[in-house]
Amino acid sequence: MNIILFEPHEAATNQITIHDRRSEHILKVLKSAPGDTVRVGIINGGSGSGIITETSDKSVTIKLQINNPEPPPRPLTDLILALPRPIMLKRVLAQATALGVGRIFLVNAKRVEKSFFHASLLEDESYRDYLIQGLEQSVDTLLPKVSIHQRFKPFIEDDLPELTDYPCRLLAHPNTKHGLWEQVKPPISGKKTVLAIGPEGGWIDYEIGKFKDQGFSAFSLGPRILRVDTAVPAILAQINLLRSIP
């Protein structure tokens, strides 16, 4: 936890007392005491510093100083993800948020278990906790926008074509001869990019054809088949590296 985040309603006053995992982190990991300063932020808002004014065994009182009132810019990479099983989705959401994505589209596919869409993680939006964990890791305050699409064809034919601002469209698919660095031509530092990653069993041919109809370029990371929770951070990290090439 590299930044202590607060909900907007918590920051209605500039002095806050917390007694949850945030206070536990401050007390047991940071080992902070009254007078110490920690990095703080408002979810979907600004950031600054917090002065610890009081502590007890389980609570911490912090005085907020929001020096940067505006949230950071939204990342230029968006992620289309065939919905994985809930336990894996938790890890992927935290990792993708930490690496920087602006939007996450959770979509259906032939090899996605339909029961995954009825998981409590999605139905009560408790996935938000894992997005926050990603922000805490990466010192960010802006939550990715998440949308859920239970039908593949309407998403790929109706919803996706409305998103016209992606000059770079990438489809992860192990059974192709092209590598990522062949399909992306730097510089892409200011270009919006959308990345599609399939389910554990991969996209079927029909789905791959539909993505290619929308201008996606298929690429592979090599001969090894990766789990989704490995592929997502591996590919996002490479895209971030490509963005640094002038």
28: CB partners within 8 A, 6+ apart: none
pLDDT of residue 40: 97
- Amino acid identity of residue 18, one-letter, is I
Residues 25 and 99 in one domain: no
Structural tokens at position 27: 């007390």
pLDDT of residue 109: 97
Residues 56 and 163 in one domain: no
Residues 31 and 124 in one domain: no
H or E stretch covering 233 = helix 228-243
Domain tally, the chain: 2
Single residue among 44, 68, 92 that ends a domain in this structure: 68
Residues 237 and 128 in one domain: yes
Closest to 148 in 3D by CA, of 100, 116, 102: 116
Residues 58 and 165 in one domain: no
Residues 195 and 230 in one domain: yes
Residues 153 and 84 in one domain: yes
H or E stretch covering 208 = helix 205-213
What is the dihedral angle through the alpha carbons of 177, 180, 182, 185, rounded to the nearest 10 degrees?
160
pLDDT along the chain (246 residues), means of 10: 96 93 96 97 97 95 94 95 96 97 97 94 91 97 96 95 90 91 84 94 95 95 91 96 88
pLDDT of residue 187: 79
Question: What strands, in cross-sheet order, belong to the sheet with 15-18?
Answer: 4-6, 37-42, 47-55, 60-68, 15-18
CATH label of the domain that carries residue 36: 2.40.240.20
pLDDT of residue 186: 78
* Segments forming the whole domain that contains residue 19: 4-68
Burial 99-135 (b: 16+ CB within 10 A, else e): bbbbbbbbbbbeebeeebeebebbeeeebeebbbbbb
Residues 145 and 97 in one domain: yes
CATH label of the domain that carries residue 155: 3.40.1280.10
pLDDT of residue 77: 96
Single residue among 24, 46, 68 that ends a domain in this structure: 68
Residues 111 and 15 in one domain: no
Are 107 and 82 spatial neighbours (Cβ–Cβ below 8 Å)?
yes
pLDDT of residue 106: 97
Single residue among 68, 97, 117 that ends a domain in this structure: 68
Residues 129 and 156 in one domain: yes
Residues 118 and 227 in one domain: yes
How much is the pTM? 0.94
Residues 153 and 218 in one domain: yes
pLDDT of residue 235: 96
